[in-house]
């Protein structure tokens, strides 16, 4: 196994739904998707975000487009027009999740 | 009957690039132009404008846009569907008629879709047992009733299809879903059955791809933003919808931007909840069934979409006054930029304590250090500059103005090498909060009014 930063395996887009941020993590190649499914557990994602995410993390699988959709609850300081956060709508949560390092099988070619 | 129609996105939100809708009509063949104007806060602002002048309450800048756009729509035989009508779609329709009459466009049909505005009916709805509970907190609307500033039902494609059947070439709606305005032309042109869930869901997917403008065609594109050509004239997406129930996402060749499976995937996951339960007023779409295929340059085929029956409820968007926020910023530079910004934060907080003002929340972030990343941002040593970003939220206006006066004095009373205060005192803003709720569909009826220019 080797440690690889997620940004080499996936791209992402994030947005808001009230005080919940959503982030879709999309495999850059089909062969990366099973690794994402295995490694990006809701628990690990929650741990990665630390105090940024006060509520639970939900995960949904989208094998059709090689993506995982995460809902990060209580992550936007109240959300909408209430929030005092600079990233009020969770627009850059996409970049934040891609900072994660995950275990990847040695034989998987990664740029 | 047509086998294919082109539905072009002209605007992703109110305030999007102003010439995009004009380019969409001028730079190639399209059949429909759809433009989204409404967000939750918008409805509240529009209600305020309408209460001052009953003729207002719609997107005011839509009218000057129509002076440029309308002749093009007529010349190219393009139908426009937009929710620019806000809380006064009929008023908006009459304003458009005024322009059409001046331009001598007799015979042009313009429609208003309304009935979504339930602000006046709220008390009778509550009295007849609709608690309009907050979908997120479960609280009853009665707890904030006296602070409500707008209340609108989200209609789907149905009333828009009705307007199309009446021959309208310009349709201005109130709160119709972003997906509904793209789905409606498909149902109208192809005669899709209202129970053909897979086809309806396909149309919803097309609407989701269109609804944020260039976000599907190379804008805000994480995977390949450096590859996107001519972003200064980025082509907004065009959904080619086919009668058999598949789509091709594309854009005008003469414009910039990029449409590939990656740009479409990024838009598909945008603001997505449970992918298998994408609820709209017309059907429930399964985003985990969508298949994509690169069919050619700037052409992505969308197929295999599955749908399920609609739910018995309309979603309701209610806005209400919920206090104030104020955010101030000061820029500190090397050396010790972060330590200076932290010290300034400490001073402001001590001042607020000393002055005896109280807030629901005080939040501090350091731009250039960790404001965007929070706990995911690795520490950096000795940044060149750090912006102190301190915000307060509360319900006491006087306390808010006290905060507003406490930021700029730091320039002469706090740590050194500080700048970036040219904007003056932080503004105190009203918080218009959002209250999502559900309402039985039979409770409200959409209305359609079509008029012909004489």
DSSP label at B293? Answer: E
Between chains, do B222 and A78 touch, taking CB under 8 Å as contact? no
| Interface check B266 vs A, CB under 8 A | yes
Chain A residues whose beta carbon lies within 8 Å of the beta carbon of residue B263: none
CA-based nearest distance A8→chain B, Å: 10
Residue ranges per structural domain of chain A: 2-103
A84–B391: do the CB atoms touch at under 8 Å?
yes
Strand B109-114 relative to strand A57-62, pairing:
unpaired
Distances (CA, A) of B168 to A85, B61, B453: 44, 21, 11
Nearest neighbour of A60 by CB, restricted to B222, B265, B275: B275
Reading the block at residue B129, the tokens are 């047992």
Asked if residue B344 and residue B409 are part of one domain, the reply reads yes
B residues 353..392 contacting A (CB < 8 A)? 361, 363, 365, 367, 371-378, 389, 391-392
Domain count of chain B? 2
Are the C-beta atoms of B110 and B451 separated by less than 8 Å?
A: yes
Closest by Cβ to A17, choosing from B268, B271, B391: B271
Query: Across the interface, which of A19, A22, A60 has its CB nearest the CB of B271?
Result: A22
Q: Tell me which of A10, A13, A93 to substitute to probe the interface with B (most B C-beta atoms closer than 10 Å).
A: A13
User: Positive or negative CA dihedral for A29, A30, A36, A38?
Assistant: negative
Identify the pLDDT of residue B42: 86
Q: Which is it for the CA torsion B436, B437, B438, B442, positive or negative?
A: negative
- Specify whether B395 is located in the same domain as B291: no
Q: How many CB pairs under 8 A join A and B?
A: 131
Residue B433, both tokens: 């909060």
Q: Which residue of B has its CA nearest to A22?
A: B271
Low-confidence ranges of chain B (pLDDT < 70): none
Strand-strand pairing, B299-303 and B291-296: antiparallel
* B337 and B425 housed in the same domain: yes
B396 in contact with A at a CB cutoff of 8 Å? no
- Evaluate whether residue B189 is within a structural domain: yes
Fold that domain A2-103 belongs to in CATH: Alpha-Beta Plaits (3.30.70)
Partners of A85 on chain B (C-beta within 8 Å) are 363, 365
> Are residues B243 and B159 located together in one domain of the fold?
yes
Name the residue of chain B whose CA is nearest to A17's CA: B271
pLDDT score for B423: 86
What is the domain range of residue B54? Answer: 4-116+154-311
Residues from chain B contacting residue A48 (CB–CB below 8 Å) = 376
* Cβ-based contacts of B276 with chain A (< 8 Å): 60
- Token pair listed for A94: 């996409």
Domain shared by B175 and B280, yes or no = yes
User: B86 near B37, Cβ under 8 Å?
Assistant: yes
Same structural domain, B270 and B351: no
The answer to whether residue B415 is domain-embedded is yes
Cβ count within 10 A of residue B133? 17
Q: Is B454 helix (H, G, I), strand (E, B) or coil?
A: coil
Per CB-CB distance under 8 Å, the chain B contacts of A26 are 223, 262, 265-266, 269
CATH number at residue B376: 3.30.70.260
Tell me, yes or no, if B136 comes closer than 8 A to chain A by beta carbon: yes
**What is the pLDDT, as a whole number, of residue B274?**
98
Are the C-beta atoms of residues B320 and B435 closer than 8 Å to each other?
yes
Integer Cα distance of B253 and B217 in angstroms: 12
Handedness of CA B131, B135, B138, B144 (dihedral sign): negative
Which of B371, B406, B405 lies closest to B389, judged by CA?
B371
Whether residue B48 is found in the same domain as residue B82: yes
Q: Residue A86: which of B290, B372, B375 has the nearest Cβ?
A: B372
- Tell whether B433 is within 8 A of chain A (Cβ): yes
Decide if A102 contacts B315 (C-beta within 8 A).
Answer: no
ipTM of model over 0.95:
yes
B269 contacts A67? CB cut-off 8 A? yes
pLDDT at res. A79: 87
Determine, yes or no, domain membership for B126. no
Distance CA B324, CA B431 (A): 5
> Between chains, do A65 and B265 touch, taking CB under 8 Å as contact?
yes
User: Does residue B440 lie in a domain region?
Assistant: no
3-class SS letters over B52-119: HCCCCCCCCCHHHHHHHHHHHHHHHCCEEEECCCCCCHHHHHHHHHHHHHHCCCCCCEEEEEECCECC
Which two three-digit tokens encode residue B291?
Answer: 């298949």
B273 shares contact with chain A (CB less than 8 Å) = yes
Q: Are both B171 and B36 inside the same structural domain? A: yes
Residue B391 in any domain: the answer is yes
Q: Is B139 a member of any domain?
A: no
CA–CA distances in Å: residue A56 to residues A48, A51, B274, B320, B329: 13, 12, 15, 27, 31
CA triplet B2, B3, B5: central angle to 5 degrees? 75
- Residue pair B269/B241 in contact (Cβ under 8 Å)? The answer is no
- Give CA–CA dist B205/A50, Å, rounded: 34
- In A, what residues contact B, Cβ < 8 A? 11-13, 15-19, 22-24, 26, 28, 48-52, 60-67, 69, 71, 77-78, 80-82, 84-87, 92, 94-97, 99
CA A100, CA B32: separation in Å to the nearest integer? 43
In Å, how far from its chain's centre is CA B33? 16
In a domain, residue B134? The reply is no
B108 with B223, same domain? Answer: yes
- Rounded Cα–Cα distance for residues B390 and A86 (Å): 9
CB contact under 8 A, B431 and A22: no
Residue B138 lies in a domain: no
Q: Which residues of B touch A65 (CB under 8 A)?
A: 265, 268-269, 290, 292
């Amino acid at each position: 196994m080797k440690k690889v930063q997620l940004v080499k395996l996936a791209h992402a887009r994030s947005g808001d739904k009230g005080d919940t941020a959503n982030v879709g993590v999309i495999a850059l190649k089909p062969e990366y998707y099973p690794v994402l499914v295995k490694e990006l557990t809701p628990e690990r994602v929650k741990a990665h975000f630390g105090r940024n995410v006060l509520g639970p993390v939900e995960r949904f699988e989208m094998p059709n487009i090689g993506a995982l959709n995460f809902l990060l609850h209580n992550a936007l300081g109240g959300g909408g027009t209430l929030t005092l956060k600079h990233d009020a709508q969770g627009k850059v949560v996409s970049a934040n999740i891609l900072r994660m390092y995950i275990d990847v099988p040695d034989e998987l070619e990664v740029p | 009957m047509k086998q294919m129609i082109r539905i072009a996105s002209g605007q992703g939100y109110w305030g999007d690039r102003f010439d995009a809708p004009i380019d969409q009509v001028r730079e190639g063949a399209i059949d429909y132009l759809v433009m989204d104007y409404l967000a939750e806060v918008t409805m509240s602002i529009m209600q305020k404008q309408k209460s001052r002048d009953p003729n207002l309450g719609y997107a005011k800048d839509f009218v000057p846009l129509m002076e440029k756009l309308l002749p093009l729509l007529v010349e190219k035989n393009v139908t426009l569907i937009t929710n620019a009508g806000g809380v006064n779609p009929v008023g908006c329709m009459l304003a458009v008629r005024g322009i059409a009459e001046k331009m001598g466009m007799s015979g042009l049909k313009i429609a208003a879709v309304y009935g979504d505005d339930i602000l006046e009916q709220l008390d009778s709805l509550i009295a007849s047992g609709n608690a309009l509970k907050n979908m997120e907190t479960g609280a009853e609307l009665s707890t904030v009733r006296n602070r409500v500033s707008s209340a609108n039902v989200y209609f789907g494609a149905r009333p828009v299809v009705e307007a199309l059947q009446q021959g309208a070439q310009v349709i201005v709606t109130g709160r119709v879903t972003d997906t509904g305005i793209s789905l409606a032309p498909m149902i109208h042109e192809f005669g899709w059955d209202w129970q053909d869930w897979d086809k309806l869901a396909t149309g919803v997917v097309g609407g989701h791809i269109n609804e944020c403008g260039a976000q599907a065609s190379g804008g805000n594109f994480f995977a390949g933003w450096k590859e996107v050509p001519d972003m200064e004239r980025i082509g907004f997406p065009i959904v080619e919808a086919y009668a058999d129930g598949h789509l091709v996402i594309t854009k005008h060749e003469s414009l910039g931007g990029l449409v590939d499976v990656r740009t479409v995937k990024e838009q598909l996951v945008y603001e997505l909840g449970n992918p298998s339960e994408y609820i709209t007023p017309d059907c429930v779409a399964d985003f985990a069934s969508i298949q994509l295929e690169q069919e050619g340059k700037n052409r992505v085929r969308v197929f295999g979409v599955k749908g399920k029956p609609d739910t018995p409820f309309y979603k309701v968007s209610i806005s209400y006054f919920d206090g104030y926020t104020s955010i101030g910023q000061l820029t500190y530079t090397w050396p010790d930029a972060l330590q200076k910004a932290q010290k300034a934060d400490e001073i402001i907080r001590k001042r607020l304590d000393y002055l005896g003002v109280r807030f629901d929340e005080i939040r501090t972030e350091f731009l250039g250090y960790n404001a965007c990343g929070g706990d995911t941002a690795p520490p950096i040593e000795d940044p060149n500059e750090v912006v102190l970003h301190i915000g307060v939220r509360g319900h006491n206006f006087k306390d808010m103005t006290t905060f507003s006066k406490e930021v700029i004095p730091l320039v002469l009373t706090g740590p050194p090498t500080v700048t970036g205060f040219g904007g003056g005192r932080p503004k105190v803003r009203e918080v218009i909060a959002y209250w999502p709720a559900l309402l039985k569909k039979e409770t409200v009826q959409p209305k359609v009014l079509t008029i012909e220019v004489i």
